[in-house]
Structure 1
Amino acid sequence: MATALIITVFFLGTFYFQHAVGYGALRTGLLFLPVAAATMFGANLTGRAIAKAGARPLAVTGLLITAIGMALTRSHLRH
């Protein structure tokens, strides 16, 4: 489910940034770079973190971080 949502955000976000906001392909790609890097970094740490903390606290933390990131992106687009 998370993978499908991330792919959807990248796909629809690309259309939004390029067509509605008017950003070029390079700028749009660079906007998504921190998300891609954080996803790779987080995936690398997940196995060890689940063993220590359990799945539920990590899922809640991940969803909160995602919500904060989306809120920051949205507030950036308003200005």
Structure 2
Amino acid sequence: MSDKQMEQGAEEWEAMLTHLRQVRQQVQEQGPLPEQEKAEAADAFRRGLAMLESQVQHIKDDQNGLKGSSGGW
């Protein structure tokens, strides 16, 4: 993964986390969200999970690709 991709991924994570923190604060201060905002928060949460799953898969793929000089560890 290139530095630019990592930076973009970090920015996307930060944006999602910021959004979810704002939603949490709003719920704490004002109570349950209206339906539209519930849908937006659920979507942000699902995107975060999908991103996390993708990153975990990349890590697994990278680890599976590591081999010693004999072809294995």
Q: TM-score, normalised by structure 1?
A: 0.39
**More RCO (CA 8 Å, sep 6+):** 2
Indicate the structure (1 or 2) with the bigger Cα radius of gyration. Answer: 2
Q: Which one has a larger percent helix, Structure 1 or Structure 2?
A: 1
Q: TM-score, normalised by structure 2?
A: 0.42
